[in-house]
Structure 1
Amino acid sequence: MQVEAGPLLQQINYPSDLRNLKPAELEKVCDELRQFIIDIVSVNGGHFAASLGVVELTVALHYALNTPYDQIIFDVGHQAYGHKILTGRREDFHTNRVFGGLSGFPKRGESEYDTFGVGHSSTSISAALGMAVASEYKGETDRQHVAIIGDGALTGGMAFEALNHAGIEKSNLLVILNDNCMSIDPNVGAMKEYLTSITTSKSYNRFRDDLIAVLAKISKNGPDAYGWAKKLEQSIKGTLLKSANLFESLNFRYFGPVDGHDVAKLAKTIEDLKHIPGPKLLHAVTVKGKGYALAEKDQTKWHAPGLFDKITGEIKKSIAEKPQPPKYQDVFGHTLVELAEANDKIMGITPAMPSGSSMNIMMKAMPSRAFDVGIAEQHAVTFSAGLATQGMVPFCNIYSSFMQRAYDQVIHDVALQKLNVVFCLDRAGLVGADGPTHHGAYDIAFMRCVPNLVVSAPMNEEELRNLMYTAQLPDKGPVVIRYPRGNGVMSDWKRPFTEIEIGKGRKIQDGEELAILSFGAIGNEAAKAIQLLNQDGIYPAHYDLRFAKPLDEALLHEVFSTFTKVITVEDGSLMGGVGSAVLEFMADHGYNVEVVRLGIADEVVEHGEQVELWKLCGYDAVSIVSAAKRLATSIKTNSMVS
């Protein structure tokens, strides 16, 4: 389906075209840009509400700034669809998040307008400050650097570290706080309450309306006038606001709150702020999902709704002849509640992903025992460690790629102290259209090298339940359970709990001469491959390792003493992964067997559907069949020679 842009938007191939328009035309551009995003995302899918909420802000920035010389850095980046459309990618935008098409996030290799690659939160201020300091060093004093960060991302500690540093620099930095009370789920914490107090101060709001323009004019008259204006402003703000301004205390000039959907005023404000030196923060109040009533009403549901009818708002279900098994995340959520009902020591923790991880199920059932700690993975891990010291059993649920952000805490605060924290790593392996910033490619490698950690992965929903049950039993220490994005394979998944012996794998079926060792849910692709191989007279054995650490040594001794050819299959990095662990075992015990490892090679995997990426990386069912046939051919050749 070809989507046509509106008449004004059709004339805008780059921001230089946008800047040829009159200020009175900007509102029309925003209307057309918003409609174009709705049209494309409704038929192609992708993130939705976040980009709708910053349409006016995006247009105003590109209108007031000289991009790409002036640099814009989006935090997280799922709100950058309007930015992509205005910067030379309108005609290709229908390929957004499609295999081989545009990335769903800003990406430096895609456009000079994408100044920094993003996907994880709270990085924009640090990156923008680095760029600003570099520009100052190079004498580019007229260059603007703007970080757009949501109030949800401001809960991340890295954002405060950057604010703290930026406040002592004199670099030309503007932070725009996109305040909509939402990340993916509603924001939590003291920062949300603080920003609300600012936005509801009527006296202060009346005062700040004229402040920006006055200061911009005075700042042009020299440093003395600027200093006088700054002292006056601080004095009046202190009188009008009930508490001292947090951002001012960090040496930021604070402006706002302003209406984030008044594009003309935003453009004028940004133009004025260009003339005020040093670090500044503009507080813009927006509505996530702005312009699409259903998205405004239910912002979490419409964060990334999939395909939908833009007229009726009906979200289209994927075509399936029979009901699909549940998502692994939902099996986790329901199982956690079931375990917590029987064990009053269990607590649930997630860093700002209650709906994405299905922790919201426990938060609803047991609100006093489940915590959304905001976008703060480091805090989530050490908070869990603190709970564990007092005899609690925290289930700390974090996406695999986000766990990278808390690696020190896993080692220092949990593993060294042998605390019984259960790390449930959702979205482990290749995740699909979110691409390389979200692929859970590395957790096996970076977790299995840490002393005292157990690293496990279920092949199906029943194993996920049993691993969770096992992990909460006494004296298990820290346990990692990784599982993938998407649906499982069992419709009758809710079965009685059974303890799984730590470090114990299982033989799924016997075979001849060739063995396939799989780790985690990708073992289901191995099972499909074996069915195909059986049709061609090849009968591999299949082992489900379950644990990357500790390895099932008895199982591996059986494999290496029985089979001459072995294939390992994992949905993770080959370097340091479970295949590497198997090779280490083989070398340590003097076996001489041909081993082929299938998994993610030492390269960045781009975005696409999971099955497309498994094929690309060579470990979907068909690729496993090909590898097995090559080994089977060498077996027959060797037999004929002997």
Structure 2
Amino acid sequence: MEIVPGVLLKDINSPADLKRISKKELHKVCDELRQYIIDVVSIHGGHFAASLGVVELSVALHYVYNTPYDQLVWDVGHQAYGHKILTGRRESFVTNRKYGGLSGFPKRSESEYDTFGVGHSSTSISAALGMAMAAKYKKEDRKSIAVIGDGSMTAGMAFEAMNHAGVADSDVLIILNDNCMSIDPNVGALKEYLTDIVVSPTYNKLKADVWKIMGKLPVGKSVSRAMAHKVADSVKSMVSSSGNLFEALKLRYFGPIDGHNITKLVDTLNDLKKIPGPKILHIVTVKGKGYDLAEKDQTKWHAPGLFDKITGEIVKTTYNSPQPPKYQDVFGLTMIELAEMNDKVMGVTPAMPSGSSLKFMMEKMPHRAFDVGICEQHAVTLSAGLATQGLRVFCNIYSSFMQRSFDQAVHDVAIQKLPVVFCLDRAGLVGEDGPTHHGCYDIAFFRCIPNMILAAPMNEQELRNLMYTAQLETTKHPFVIRYPRGTGVMPEWKTTFEAIEIGKGRKLKDGKDVAILSYGHPGNFAKAAIRTLRSEGIDPAHYDMRFVKPLDEAMLHEVFTKFDKVVTVEDGTIVGGFGSAILEFMAANQYKAQVTILGIPDRLVEHGSLKELYKECGYDAPAIAEAIRVLVGDKVKAFNYEL
């Protein structure tokens, strides 16, 4: 189905084209841009509501500023679809998030307009400030703008950057896009503070009146610029506390203004261009603006998949038989069961209650499950604090987001031997979100930390049993459970809990030609490969190791005593991961064997479907089978000769 842009949008292939349009026609550009995003995402999928909410801002920024010379940094990045379309990528936008196509996030190698690669939140202010400081040092008259959502502003890194920006004396503009949302509704005191600013009619009316008066004062003649600032600051302090948080950090505060009024945005940005130094513009927007259903249910429409843009019906695949659940739902529903059994069980997540499915427990037991906002470091240390009081805390963080709290995992949890349970959702390749979201490294970076237990379930039953084991009083150490994005393999998944002996694997199949050692969900790929190989006369053994720390050494002694050909399979980096642990054991015990390590290669893996990426990285079922054929080459030749 061909997607046709509007009459104005079809001729916009760069910001230079946009600037040729009159200001009074910009609202038409916004309407066409919003409709184009709706058309493409409804058919091809992707993030949705966030970009609709910043259509006017995207247009205004490229209309006012001289991009890419002026540096524009988008926080998180899934709100940057309009930005991509306006900067020469309209025709290729249908490839967004597809294998070999455009990234779903700004990416420096993709366009000169993407000044900074983003995927995780709260980095924009630091990056834009660095650019502004560089411009000052190089004596360049370029502007630096950071667009950050109110959800991203909850992260400590954003406050660290603002604290520095206030004293760095660099020309940086921070645009606070306030829509009360990240993926789920925002939480915390900052959200309430911003709400107070937005809904304070007294403050906003007085401030508007002061701005109007200030515009009429002959600054530079009878009234000094310093005096003008004092008048404005006095009114802010007199009327309310709004603005004080930011101005206490020495950031000049402007707003709040309507983020959907394109004329007001253009005028305001033109005014702010003339004001030097660090400043913050507070705009108020609606996530999902322009698509009624997305405005009403912003969480659901954050990334809804394919849908009928007229009816709003989300396209769902129909099946003839019961399907396995998502791992995240197994986690979320199992949390409720465990909490009902054990009153010490608590849940914590940093702004991912829907993505992790902790929302189920939050709805049923709001006093025992908490969304702490986009602040992974705080989530880990908060969990550690709860654990000091004897509580069994399940801290659910996406694998790639866990990278941000490595120090807290070491210093606040492992060193103190606190039995926090880290449930790492989206471990391994995640698909269309690409390299910023792939959970490649958690096996490697956790494996080097003392006092840690590292486990991965091969299916839903194993996930439940590992969670059950982790909350037992006999479990005395931090416990990491990693599992992938998407569905498992067991339609009938709700089984009776059984404790698993820590560090104990299981032999799934005996064999004589080669041993397959799998860790986690890829064990299911190995099972499929074995079925193919047995039809070819190759007889592999299969061991589900379950734990990478501690390793099941008794099982490994059995493997290396019996087999001189071994294949390891994991959904993580092959550098320092599960396969590396097996090689270390082999070397320490002076075994000799041919070992092939399959997993995520030592390079950045781009975006695509999981099926495409597993194939590219060489550890889907056909790749496992081929690796074994190569390893047992003589056996294959003999079998072919007999045929």
TM-score by structure 1 length?
0.97
Partners of 2:196 and 2:242 within 8 A in 1: no
**CA 1:386/1:253 → structure 2, altered by over 3 Å: closer, same or farther?**
same
Q: What is the alpha-carbon distance in structure 1 between the residues aligned to residue 41 and residue 58 of structure 2?
A: 18
The superposition leaves residues 91-149 of structure 1 with CA deviations (integer Å, 9 ceiling, x where unpaired) of 00000000000000000000000000000000000000000000000001x21111000
Q: What is the alpha-carbon distance in structure 1 between the residues aligned to residue 388 and residue 423 of structure 2?
A: 19
The superposition leaves residues 289-344 of structure 1 with CA deviations (integer Å, 9 ceiling, x where unpaired) of 00000000000000000000000000000243333210000000000110010000
- Following TM superposition, the consecutive aligned residue runs of length 4 or more in structure 1 with deviations greater than 4 angstroms are 210-224, 634-640
Structure 1 position 225, deviation (Å):
3.0
SS in 1 for 2:498: coil
Residue 11 of structure 2 corresponds to: 11
**CA 1:469/1:45 → structure 2, altered by over 3 Å: closer, same or farther?**
same
Q: What is the alpha-carbon distance in structure 2 between the residues aligned to residue 226 and residue 354 of structure 1?
A: 48
Matched to 2:276, the amino acid is P
Partners of 2:243 and 2:253 within 8 A in 1: no
- With 211-220 and 144-153 compared, the bigger mean Cα shift is at 211-220
Q: What is the alpha-carbon distance in structure 2 between the residues aligned to residue 183 and residue 416 of structure 1?
A: 33
Structure 1 position 208, deviation (Å):
3.3
SS in 2 for 1:7: coil
Matched to 2:590, the amino acid is G
Q: What is the alpha-carbon distance in structure 1 between the residues aligned to residue 212 and residue 118 of structure 2?
A: 33
Please tell me whether residue 505 in structure 1 is matched to residue 523 in structure 2: no
SS in 2 for 1:367: coil
Residue 481 of structure 1 corresponds to: 481
Please tell me whether residue 109 in structure 1 is matched to residue 114 in structure 2: no
Partners of 2:380 and 2:409 within 8 A in 1: yes
**CA 1:237/1:489 → structure 2, altered by over 3 Å: closer, same or farther?**
same
Residue 66 of structure 1 corresponds to: 66
Residue 418 of structure 1 corresponds to: 417
The superposition leaves residues 481-503 of structure 1 with CA deviations (integer Å, 9 ceiling, x where unpaired) of 00000000001110101110000
Structure 1 position 207, deviation (Å):
3.1
Aligned 1:24-103 pairs, distance under 5 A: 24-103=24-103
Structure 1 position 475, deviation (Å):
3.6
SS in 1 for 2:575: coil
Partners of 2:459 and 2:521 within 8 A in 1: yes
Residue 238 of structure 1 corresponds to: 237
Matched to 1:623, the amino acid is A
Residue 520 of structure 1 corresponds to: 520
Residue 346 of structure 1 corresponds to: 345
SS in 1 for 2:177: strand
Residue 246 of structure 2 corresponds to: 247
Residue 445 of structure 1 corresponds to: 444
Partners of 1:216 and 1:273 within 8 A in 2: no
**CA 1:547/1:280 → structure 2, altered by over 3 Å: closer, same or farther?**
same
Q: What is the alpha-carbon distance in structure 2 between the residues aligned to residue 332 and residue 388 of structure 1?
A: 20
Aligned 1:213-362 pairs, distance under 5 A: 221=220, 225-242=224-241, 245-362=244-361
Please tell me whether residue 541 in structure 1 is matched to residue 516 in structure 2: no
Q: What is the alpha-carbon distance in structure 1 between the residues aligned to residue 308 and residue 51 of structure 2?
A: 18
- With 181-190 and 469-478 compared, the bigger mean Cα shift is at 469-478
SS in 1 for 2:174: strand
The superposition leaves residues 391-422 of structure 1 with CA deviations (integer Å, 9 ceiling, x where unpaired) of 00000000000000000000000000000100
- With 212-221 and 496-505 compared, the bigger mean Cα shift is at 212-221
Matched to 1:293, the amino acid is D
Q: What is the alpha-carbon distance in structure 2 between the residues aligned to residue 344 and residue 509 of structure 1?
A: 39
Partners of 2:219 and 2:228 within 8 A in 1: no
SS in 2 for 1:209: helix
Q: What is the alpha-carbon distance in structure 2 between the residues aligned to residue 231 and residue 74 of structure 1?
A: 32
Q: What is the alpha-carbon distance in structure 1 between the residues aligned to residue 638 and residue 559 of structure 2?
A: 19
SS in 1 for 2:363: helix
Structure 1 position 601, deviation (Å):
1.1
Residue 190 of structure 1 corresponds to: 189
Please tell me whether residue 166 in structure 1 is matched to residue 172 in structure 2: no
SS in 1 for 2:8: helix
Q: What is the alpha-carbon distance in structure 1 between the residues aligned to residue 160 and residue 12 of structure 2?
A: 38
Partners of 2:132 and 2:170 within 8 A in 1: yes
**CA 1:561/1:511 → structure 2, altered by over 3 Å: closer, same or farther?**
same
Partners of 1:212 and 1:273 within 8 A in 2: no
**CA 1:272/1:211 → structure 2, altered by over 3 Å: closer, same or farther?**
farther
Partners of 1:219 and 1:275 within 8 A in 2: no
**CA 1:250/1:455 → structure 2, altered by over 3 Å: closer, same or farther?**
same
Structure 1 position 598, deviation (Å):
0.3
Structure 1 position 227, deviation (Å):
1.8
Partners of 1:173 and 1:279 within 8 A in 2: yes
Structure 1 position 9, deviation (Å):
0.2
**CA 1:369/1:219 → structure 2, altered by over 3 Å: closer, same or farther?**
farther
SS in 2 for 1:318: coil
Structure 1 position 583, deviation (Å):
0.2
Please tell me whether residue 562 in structure 1 is matched to residue 553 in structure 2: no
Partners of 1:216 and 1:275 within 8 A in 2: no
Structure 1 position 213, deviation (Å):
7.5
Partners of 1:215 and 1:226 within 8 A in 2: no
Q: What is the alpha-carbon distance in structure 1 between the residues aligned to residue 233 and residue 18 of structure 2?
A: 36
SS in 2 for 1:596: strand
Q: What is the alpha-carbon distance in structure 1 between the residues aligned to residue 139 and residue 52 of structure 2?
A: 37
Structure 1 position 635, deviation (Å):
5.2
Q: Unpaired runs of 5+ in structure 2?
A: none
**CA 1:26/1:327 → structure 2, altered by over 3 Å: closer, same or farther?**
same
SS in 2 for 1:67: coil
Partners of 2:599 and 2:619 within 8 A in 1: yes
Partners of 2:440 and 2:572 within 8 A in 1: yes
**CA 1:57/1:163 → structure 2, altered by over 3 Å: closer, same or farther?**
same
The superposition leaves residues 238-262 of structure 1 with CA deviations (integer Å, 9 ceiling, x where unpaired) of 1121466200110000000000000
The superposition leaves residues 560-599 of structure 1 with CA deviations (integer Å, 9 ceiling, x where unpaired) of 0001100000000000000000000000001010000001
RMSD of aligned Cα (Å): 1.7
Structure 1 position 209, deviation (Å):
3.3
**CA 1:263/1:631 → structure 2, altered by over 3 Å: closer, same or farther?**
same
Q: What is the alpha-carbon distance in structure 2 between the residues aligned to residue 309 and residue 282 of structure 1?
A: 36
Partners of 1:213 and 1:272 within 8 A in 2: no
Q: What is the alpha-carbon distance in structure 2 between the residues aligned to residue 120 and residue 258 of structure 1?
A: 26
Structure 1 position 524, deviation (Å):
0.5
Matched to 1:415, the amino acid is A
Q: What is the alpha-carbon distance in structure 2 between the residues aligned to residue 212 and residue 108 of structure 1?
A: 39
Aligned 1:399-414 pairs, distance under 5 A: 399-414=398-413
Residue 22 of structure 1 corresponds to: 22
Partners of 1:213 and 1:269 within 8 A in 2: no
Q: What is the alpha-carbon distance in structure 1 between the residues aligned to residue 326 and residue 76 of structure 2?
A: 25
**CA 1:430/1:211 → structure 2, altered by over 3 Å: closer, same or farther?**
farther
Partners of 2:197 and 2:242 within 8 A in 1: no
Structure 1 position 513, deviation (Å):
2.1
Matched to 2:348, the amino acid is I
TM-score by structure 2 length?
0.97
**Count of equivalent residues:** 639
Residue 633 of structure 1 corresponds to: 633
The superposition leaves residues 601-638 of structure 1 with CA deviations (integer Å, 9 ceiling, x where unpaired) of 11000000111101000000010011011112145679
Residue 156 of structure 2 corresponds to: 157
Residue 608 of structure 2 corresponds to: 608
**CA 1:274/1:19 → structure 2, altered by over 3 Å: closer, same or farther?**
same
**CA 1:223/1:371 → structure 2, altered by over 3 Å: closer, same or farther?**
farther
**CA 1:222/1:70 → structure 2, altered by over 3 Å: closer, same or farther?**
farther
Partners of 2:122 and 2:153 within 8 A in 1: yes
The superposition leaves residues 528-560 of structure 1 with CA deviations (integer Å, 9 ceiling, x where unpaired) of 111111111111000001001000001100000
SS in 2 for 1:168: helix
Q: What is the alpha-carbon distance in structure 2 between the residues aligned to residue 440 and residue 115 of structure 1?
A: 24
Partners of 2:538 and 2:636 within 8 A in 1: no
Q: What is the alpha-carbon distance in structure 2 between the residues aligned to residue 542 and residue 194 of structure 1?
A: 56
- With 315-324 and 23-32 compared, the bigger mean Cα shift is at 315-324
SS in 2 for 1:401: helix
Matched to 1:595, the amino acid is V
Q: What is the alpha-carbon distance in structure 2 between the residues aligned to residue 491 and residue 234 of structure 1?
A: 62
Matched to 2:445, the amino acid is F
**CA 1:276/1:547 → structure 2, altered by over 3 Å: closer, same or farther?**
same
